[in-house]
A and B are shown apart, each in its own frame.
Chain A
Amino acid sequence: MFQDRYSLAFKLYPYAHSPDQDAAAPVRHPVIVVGGGPIGLATALDLGRQGIPVVVLDDHEGIGMGSRAICFAKRCLEIADRYGCGEPMLDKGVVWNLGKVFHDDRKVYEFNLLPEAGHKFPAFINLQQPYFERFIYEQIVEEQKKGAPIEIRGKNRVDGMTVAEDHVKLDIMTPDGPYQLEADWLMACDGASSPLRSMLGLDFEGQVFQDSFLIADIRMKTSSFPTERWFWFEPHFKSGASTLLHKQPDDVWRVDFQIGWDVDRKEELKEENIRARLDAMLGEGVEYDIVWSSIYTFQCRRMKKFRHGRVFFAGDAAHQVSPFGARGANSGMQDVDNLGWKLGMVIRGEAPDSLLDTYDEERIHGADENILNSTRSTDFITPKSKVSHIFRNAVLSLAESYEFARPIVNSGRLSVPCVYDGMSLNGPDALPGGPARTRPGASCPDAPLGDAFLLNQLGNRFLLLTIDADAPDSLTEDGVAVTRLALSRDQDPSGALADRYLGDGASAVYLIRPDQHVAARWDSYDETAVRTALRKACGKE
């Protein structure tokens, strides 16, 4: 009756019989999250921290094996930090800045991410997905101790669902047999092959790429590689049409071989065959252990809509991209960041139901941007026609000697947060000379404030950030409270705050959303304008 689909890296929430299973009628919960991956757990954490009762149903009892997602971007870490678990990720993760691109046996060029100073988090860290999930889980436990109403039920598999206008009913299978639950709101975070999506008969369309990739995570015994990202196009060692080498924590290196579409998976996954590829690449006498291996294929596609009445899809269940550019888990975390506060406000009666439609508007925009970027990377890495292959190699040949061709080389455009330009929650951009990077719709860039950082003081609520501008310390508009964070250039010796938030202006007033995105900005405080922008940002205009 219960067969595990995968083995666990960490068993965290063993099956326990819930009183709900013995109830005469299905028990109703405010929010049920289906799926205990990073996106489901983060959703539970976001809502639980707001005091909203949430039940997570996972058909396993913990975190699955395998490194899978390894590259976590700045914005994703900032979101995790807002939830309280960003720092352990940074401590455990590997920070890298240097990337090298090879073609055949030649180095084409190298690049440095040249991180901008004055941010708490780097552009990226490499961290095996099970660690990322465990840090989120550990934060859930911390929040539970403080009273956050989060419950995770292991070995609770959803086998059926009925969607009504004002609730959802679930048929759940457990080792003790079936039971039913109802939810006011349902979050489907059940992964790329989302059973819930299938149960609702919903579309999931896009492009399938006919190529397979073999992942080998190896622990070096006798040698080492630098903490850099190395990418080969058509490598001389012939272990794949392209190859990626990337460092992870615990002295483990990720090696990713592009091995073609028509492969015998079972044959390719035999240790001796994996070792043949690795040995050709690493050379004689290099000793290593294979920690984990897998073969994957991918699609670039999304659902037409992420919201279906009382059901929301997030993460891979809603959209899928190629792995090039680290846009999978990173974009899923932005989904959670986007929906968490909106759902919280609607459940508390602070905002209308229509606010939830903007989850579709904003995150479909994000998904489309990610799909576009990752499709372009894929087309460059795996050319689909002879002429495309010729142009790709022409770019690589030129890039070896000429700087102009290097920006065209695309081994993955690394994930940056999307800006919700022109979307319906945005208010005015009334800061003449204000920096483009902090225009309405953008996520707030970090800046140093003495020994602390700006972002740690933003988020979780609506906030009025003033820089050398007067404003009241708080105001309330139609039940929504805004508090002020008053800053001054005097607190900004590095000039980063002025550079990122003032531009050519002398003073600024920013209305900032609970997800640390800019809702509107002005050069000075105007009560009517702020109240109007706040109503708009809550979906009330």
Chain B
Amino acid sequence: MAKLITTPNLAHPDDFYAKLIATHDGLTEDDSMALNARLILTLANHIGDQAVLEEALSVAKATA
């Protein structure tokens, strides 16, 4: 069974983080929320595996 990767997996974390923040440049708070929603849905479809997605949801919720 596939498992959520919780160890480092991004080759260039600074590059990704900078791109993520830059993508939100100039957006209102509502537009940013909408963008995040589209992003989550797009990534979720790419992952596809319900068990992995539920694990990711738990991680996100538990670390608040």
Contact = CB atoms under 8 A, between A and B. Distances in A.
Contacts of B4: none
A491 B42 CA distance: 48
Contacts of A395: 41
A408 B38 CA distance: 12
Nearest to B39: A394
A404 interface: yes
Interface string A386-416: 0100110111011000101100100000000
A404 B34 contact: no
A398 B33 contact: no
Contacts of B50: none
A397 B45 contact: no
Nearest to A391: B37
Contacts of A397: 34, 38
Contacts of A404: 42, 45
Interface in B28-50: 30, 33-34, 37-38, 40-42, 45
A175 B27 CA distance: 70
B34 to A, nearest CB: 5
A390 B37 contact: yes
B41 A398 contact: yes
B30 to A, nearest CB: 8
Interface residues of B, number: 9
**Size bin of chain A's contact surface:** 10 to 19
Contacts of A393: 34, 37
A404 B48 CA distance: 11
Contacts of A408: 41
Interface in B14-33: 30, 33
A502 B37 CA distance: 45
A404 B43 CA distance: 11
A390 B33 contact: yes
A272 B16 CA distance: 57
B15 to A, nearest CB: 25
Contacts of A391: 37, 40-41
B29 to A, nearest CB: 11
A256 to B, nearest CB: 27
Contacts of B37: 390-391, 393-394
B27 to A, nearest CB: 13
A394 B38 contact: yes
A391 B42 CA distance: 12
Interface string A360-399: 0000000000000000000000000001001101110110
Contacts of B38: 394, 397-398
Nearest to A402: B42
Contacts of B33: 387, 390
A404 B46 CA distance: 9
A382 to B, nearest CB: 18
Contacts of B34: 390, 393-394, 397
Nearest to A393: B34
A387 B34 CA distance: 9
A256 B36 CA distance: 32
A402 B46 CA distance: 12
B23 to A, nearest CB: 14
A533 to B, nearest CB: 34
B13 to A, nearest CB: 25
A397 B33 CA distance: 13
A286 B37 CA distance: 39
Nearest to A386: B33
A391 B37 CA distance: 5
B47 to A, nearest CB: 12
Contacts of A394: 34, 37-38, 40-41
Interface of A: 387, 390-391, 393-395, 397-398, 402, 404-405, 408
10 contacts: A390-B34, A390-B37, A391-B37, A391-B40, A391-B41, A394-B38, A395-B41, A402-B42, A405-B41, A405-B45
Interface of B: 30, 33-34, 37-38, 40-42, 45
The 7 A-B residue pairs whose C-beta atoms are closest, nearest first, are: A394-B37, A404-B45, A394-B38, A391-B37, A390-B37, A390-B33, A390-B34
Given A390-B37, A395-B41, A402-B42, 14 more contacts: A387-B33, A391-B37, A391-B40, A393-B37, A394-B38, A394-B40, A394-B41, A397-B34, A397-B38, A398-B41, A398-B42, A404-B42, A404-B45, A405-B45
